[in-house]
Structure 1
Amino acid sequence: MLNEINWPVEYLPGTTDNFASNEVIVKDLKAVDVWPYLTHATVWEKYYSNSSDAQYKEEGKDELYPNAPFFFKTFGFPIDAEIVEFEAPKNGIARIAWHGWAEGDADHRLDVIHAWLLEELPGNRLRILTQESQIGKPAAEMAGTNTMIDGHQSWLYGLVKAAQEKLEY
């Protein structure tokens, strides 16, 4: 039985304007190998082309932590974000999720939950699941396209490569 993302009710997939789900299963990686490449937001742009300008809002911080406020740009949107779930690897499972939003009028506001699940599987395999549930007109305009699916699959492949190659963070 595989684990699932924990969703706040208002972001439950199938009830929002857009939803994307991507995963990979890879051999010879553990949750602890991948975790730092998710929690160091400033390294994302080194392995994922849709991320840039990550900044920690609390002075002196260099990685994400429970309730951490941060900022980054993705898919052309400036995103203010806050960590809403943070479970470091334990017993082969790890979870991180953030609430992100782009301010604006009704035509431009975007509100999302982006969640990640790392799950060690039998046979020295690691499942990496990422899902994003979105609310807002920009999200509705992306629904039915492969924009988020393709972008997040690229993120997954870059994440795996970064962990395999032990990219400096």
Structure 2
Amino acid sequence: MNSIHWPEGYVPGFTDNFASNEVIVAGLSAAEVWPFLAEAPRWPDYYANSANIRLPEGAGPELANGMRFYFETFGFPVDAEVVEYVAPAGNEPGRVAWHGWSGEGDTRLDVHHVWLVEDLSDGRVRILTQETQNGQPAKDLATTKPNPMINGHQDWLDGLISAARKAKG
């Protein structure tokens, strides 16, 4: 299976917080799942922890390399920039990653959120999402039980699968 590409400063184990969630399900393909992830304005339709998605005027609805966008999640207003965007094609997985930031000084939070969507054998799809975070809010989140990042991202995965299944019929 494929793995995540991590930039310097955001490698898991060397950041203030790390969350990893994965699902493998049968009956869906990467191509069927991808639009629900790649088109950020769709997120609030299936993931209640995302809101107020704003893309640059005239851009989208699909994310793209270098695109800056805004959204709200986990109570944070997040400015973000897409740093990796490759739609799934053939045997290659879909990859999307953004660097996001919020706050200033002691409230500053910097994140690198990555998604990998790949077809597996026997009509299965694997969706992996991982996020690393730096800053005092990340340190606070890392010690919170239950972990809101793990639980929130699992809700995102579950909603993503549900939306794709519903669209497929």
What TM-score, normalized to structure 1?
A: 0.94
Instruction: Give me the whole-angstrom Cα distance separating, in 2, the residues matched to 1:84 and 1:40.
Output: 15
Question: Where does residue 140 of structure 1 map in the other structure?
Answer: 139
Instruction: Give me the whole-angstrom Cα distance separating, in 2, the residues matched to 1:8 and 1:58.
Output: 28
- Aligned ranges 1:21-100 → 2 under 5 Å: 21-92=20-91, 93-100=93-100
Letter in 1 for 2:159: G
Letter in 2 for 1:105: G
The answer to whether the 8 Å contact 2:39/2:60 transfers is no
Question: Where does residue 150 of structure 1 map in the other structure?
Answer: 151
The answer to whether the 8 Å contact 1:117/1:129 transfers is yes
Residue 138 of structure 1 aligns to a residue in which SS?
helix
Any gaps of 5 or more consecutive residues in structure 2? none
The question of 1:160 aligning with 2:165 is answered no
Stretch moving more, 57-66 or 132-141? 57-66
Residue 86 of structure 1 aligns to a residue in which SS?
strand
The answer to whether the 8 Å contact 1:58/1:69 transfers is no
Letter in 1 for 2:130: Q
Any gaps of 5 or more consecutive residues in structure 1? none
1:103 CA displacement? 2.7
The question of 1:114 aligning with 2:128 is answered no
The answer to whether the 8 Å contact 2:39/2:63 transfers is yes
- CA distance change for structure 1 residues 60 and 99 in 2, over 3 Å: closer, same or farther? closer
Instruction: Give me the whole-angstrom Cα distance separating, in 1, the residues matched to 2:67 and 2:24.
Output: 28
Residue 131 of structure 1 aligns to a residue in which SS?
strand
Q: Cα RMSD over matched residues?
A: 1.2
1:164 CA displacement? 0.8
The size of the alignment, in residue pairs, is 165
Residue 129 of structure 1 aligns to a residue in which SS?
strand
Instruction: Give me the whole-angstrom Cα distance separating, in 1, the residues matched to 2:101 and 2:150.
Output: 19
